[in-house]
Amino acid sequence: MVRVSRSLPVGALALLASGLVSGLAGGVLGVASLSATAAHAQEAAPDAGGGDAGPARRGRRHGRERTRRSEKAATPPGMQQATPVAIFGDWNVFVNGDGRNKLCYAIAQPQARSPKTLKRDTAYLFVSVRKGENVQNEVAVMLGFPSKPAASQVKPGSAAAPTDPSLNLGASRFGLVVKDGNAWLQNPAEEARVVSEMSARNPKLIIKTTSLRGNPTSDEYALGGFAEAMKRTRDECSK
């Protein structure tokens, strides 16, 4: 099953792509704010300065919650209710809204990006829980640049190609469907399996794509702390 019907990003991805939580992400993750057009920007020419290197490693034990920073995260107009609640390893937990409209998600940036010489916008991987819609495991990626779509997106029924965008966990490979620099699992039925594998034995997750300019790319996310972050995400959305 290929997910191609989305006309707009959903869940946390919609908030990130619209730029509404860029200030929050910047304040908690320590990265530059994401512009409203980041999801549509194509990767630039090779950057000798390596300005898109992954974030500096933070000295924390895996799975141990950090106390939130004392400084207040910047909150853009219209998103004052969005709250950063916890940090586990490289994973941050956010909550937005309340009641049946509550959205909770665990989010991280890549530890490493290849090739380092390509200038790209910030990437994010996150898993969303939306209480009112009974969504528990929506896996989504903000790539930071537009990617070539999978062969089956271009021509339904086509066999998978080696250059198709994919999410990789150990020996497991899951196809992605892309739109405007955003990506989801091709098969939504695999979301629970992916989240389970992210929480279990795998130390890292790798997103592989090919940019519109033909550059193979790879973003590596550390999974230490993810299981704890997802537990907190679910606990927050169960309130």
Query: What does the pLDDT look like over 18-29, one tens digit per residue?
Result: 444 443 344 334
User: What region, left, alpha or beta, does residue 89 occupy, with left being phi > 0 and alpha being psi -120 to 50 degrees?
Assistant: left
Q: Cα angle at 144 between 104 and 206, to 5 degrees?
A: 75
pLDDT tens, position by position, 114-148: 999 888 899 999 999 998 888 999 999 999 999 99
Task: Give the pLDDT confidence score for residue 233 in this predicted structure.
Answer: 95
Cα maximum dimension of the chain: 52
Task: Give the pLDDT confidence score for residue 202 in this predicted structure.
Answer: 82
pLDDT tens, position by position, 8-47: 345 556 555 444 444 334 433 433 233 222 333 444 444 4
Is 170 within a domain? yes
Task: Give the pLDDT confidence score for residue 157 in this predicted structure.
Answer: 87
Is 4 within a domain? no
Burial of 109 (0-12, 13-18, 19+ CB in 10 A): buried
Task: Give the pLDDT confidence score for residue 43 in this predicted structure.
Answer: 47
Task: Give the pLDDT confidence score for residue 83 in this predicted structure.
Answer: 87
The predicted model scores a pTM of 0.73
Task: Give the pLDDT confidence score for residue 99 in this predicted structure.
Answer: 84
β 182-185/172-179 pair status: antiparallel
pLDDT tens, position by position, 53-97: 333 333 333 444 443 332 333 233 333 456 899 999 999 999 998
Is 96 within a domain? yes
Mean pLDDT, range 91-104, rounded to an integer:
89
Domain ranges, residue 132? 11-237
3-state secondary structure of 72: coil
Is 3 within a domain? no
pLDDT higher than 80, residue 201:
no
Task: Give the pLDDT confidence score for residue 205 in this predicted structure.
Answer: 97
Is 6 within a domain? no
pLDDT higher than 70, residue 208:
yes
Task: Give the pLDDT confidence score for residue 140 in this predicted structure.
Answer: 94
Is 97 within a domain? yes
pLDDT higher than 70, residue 167:
yes
Mean pLDDT, range 98-107, rounded to an integer:
88
pLDDT higher than 90, residue 49:
no
How many structural domains comprise the chain?
Answer: 1
Task: Give the pLDDT confidence score for residue 15 in this predicted structure.
Answer: 55
Is 128 within a domain? yes
Mean pLDDT, range 183-189, rounded to an integer:
94
Task: Give the pLDDT confidence score for residue 191 in this predicted structure.
Answer: 96
Is 24 within a domain? yes
pLDDT higher than 90, residue 161:
no
Cβ(203)–Cβ(80) below 8 Å: no
